[in-house]
Amino acid sequence: MTTNTIFILHDNPEWIPPFAAAFQKAGVSFQEWIFHDDAGHFLNLDEEPPQGVFWSRISASSHTRNATHAKEYARAVLAWLERYGRRVVNGSAVLEFEVSKVRQYLALKKHGFRVPETSAVFGERQLIEVAKKYTTPFIVKHNQGGKGLGVRRFDDFGDFERYVNSVDFEEPTDGITLVQEYLRSKEPFITRLEFIGGKFHYAVRVDTAAGSFQLCPADACEIDRQNSLPELAGGACDINGAKNGAFSYRAEITADTPLVRQLEDFLAQYKIEVAGVEFIETANGETVIYDINTNTNYNAAVEKQAPQAAADRIVAFLSEL
Ligand SMILES: Nc1ncnc2c1ncn2[C@@H]1O[C@H](COP(=O)(O)OP(=O)(O)O)[C@@H](O)[C@H]1O
Ligand SMILES: [Mg+2]
């Protein structure tokens, strides 16, 4: 058990209570550094950081929650921590993965994984032209995504053209929209593999029959989704919000599953220590990885079904460092 102070660097206090409960249960304390717009932090570059273990949970969607510059603040702070040799879990290189699906897909593909065919479009001018190179249906999403930002399915180029030219067009925060092949799943669910300390923890099945692209597992997002339903309904796609009960523990995937082993190898290579990796099993028998989340939130129902709650494993992992 560590005598180190554990620091959690994050941008969303709503996601902390399940971890706080796990820390409390284990009798381990932690401190928070919150990268909100009004958090009022500053950095004296000539001072050393405090001693401790630092866990970065900066999320790709931080800019949607009163944390406009969380990514930039975190880049500065992580550079400072790493410069002084502090132990950082999910450090600066991992943050760059979190905020760029381009980076994720390039690395995954290099490692031999099948990823969706994707184009990254800078700005709006060439969006329609690029989309026309894809067959319908196709997907658009934000390079810096999380919580389904900008994820839409189009079955018709005319609909897409109208969308791009309308006030509904969702501008990506980094200006990069991805156009992507649509993955037709064999059964209506996606799978999310959770890794802690670089090791497999459990697999989660998320039912997508309701048609949602917003699949954040956190309770806080569940509330968000319910609140945002009327506003989102009736768009160019079928965003309905994943229903309560959409998340379940998928017991047949274990540490011995070949995909899991390959991913552990991949995560080790890129020093990604805490991650949720999402894939779809397609109708033509392929397994396609399309999202790496490095600030994972654990679904309350799954935490109860699984042999060990991920939040408890996180505390044990951080305490051992
Ligand atoms: N290429 C695709 N084909 C089919 N469904 C997709 C595709 N990409 C994303 N989705 C659906 O949209 C959800 C959100 O997309 P994702 O890439 O995970 O973005 P985010 O980073 O915002 O979570 C996925 O969990 C999946 O259900
Ligand atoms: Mg996702």
- For residue 50, which of 7, 19, 20 has the smallest C-alpha distance? 7
More confident residue, 234 or 254: 254
Burial (Cβ within 10 Å: 0-12, 13-18, ≥19) of residue 231: exposed
pLDDT per residue as tens digits for the range 275-286: 999 999 999 999
Q: How many CB atoms lie within 10 A of CB 184?
A: 10
Least confident of 121-135, 136-150, 228-242, 275-289: 228-242
Grouping H, G, I as helix, E, B as strand and the rest as coil, residue 80 is helix
C-alpha span between 286 and 48 (Å, rounded): 49
pLDDT at position 241 is: 40
C-alpha span between 67 and 71 (Å, rounded): 9
pLDDT at position 244 is: 57
Asked whether residue 71 carries a pLDDT value surpassing 70, the answer given is: yes
Asked whether residue 40 carries a pLDDT value surpassing 80, the answer given is: no
The stretch 91-107 carries a mean pLDDT of 98
- Same CATH topology for 6-90 and 118-181: the answer is no
The whole-chain average pLDDT of the chain stands at 89
Asked whether residue 227 carries a pLDDT value surpassing 70, the answer given is: no
Nearest CA to ligand 1 atom 11: 213
| Longest CA–CA separation in the chain, Å | 61
From the CA of 131, how far away is ligand 1's center (Å)? 17
CATH of domain 6-90: 3.40.50
Q: What are phi and psi of 205, to 5 degrees?
A: -100, 130
Which pTM does this prediction carry? 0.92
Question: Is the separation of the CB atoms in 96 and 122 below 8 Å?
Answer: no
Is the CB of 138 inside a 6 Å radius of any atom of ligand 1? Answer: no
**DSSP-derived secondary structure for 136-170:** SSEEEEESS-STTTT-EEES-HHHHHHHHTSTT--
Which ligand number lies closest to the CA of residue 149? 1
The stretch 260-267 carries a mean pLDDT of 98
Is the CB of 303 inside a 6 Å radius of any atom of ligand 1? Answer: no
Domain ranges in the chain are 6-90, 98-114+185-308+315-320, 118-181
Is the CB of 192 inside a 6 Å radius of any atom of ligand 1? Answer: no
Outline where the chain has alpha helix (H).
17-26, 70-83, 92-98, 101-110, 127-131, 157-164, 219-232, 258-269, 300-305, 310-320
pLDDT-above-70 percentage for the chain: 89
Residues 6 or more apart in contact with residue 171 via CB below 8 angstroms: none
Assign domain 118-181 to its CATH architecture. 2-Layer Sandwich (3.30)
Split at pLDDT 50, 70, 90, the class of 140 is very high
From the CA of 141, how far away is ligand 2's center (Å)? 10
Asked whether residue 83 carries a pLDDT value surpassing 90, the answer given is: yes
pLDDT at position 238 is: 28
Asked whether residue 233 carries a pLDDT value surpassing 50, the answer given is: no
Asked whether residue 111 carries a pLDDT value surpassing 70, the answer given is: yes
pLDDT at position 239 is: 29
What CATH class has 98-114+185-308+315-320? alpha beta
DSSP H or E run through 202: strand 199-207
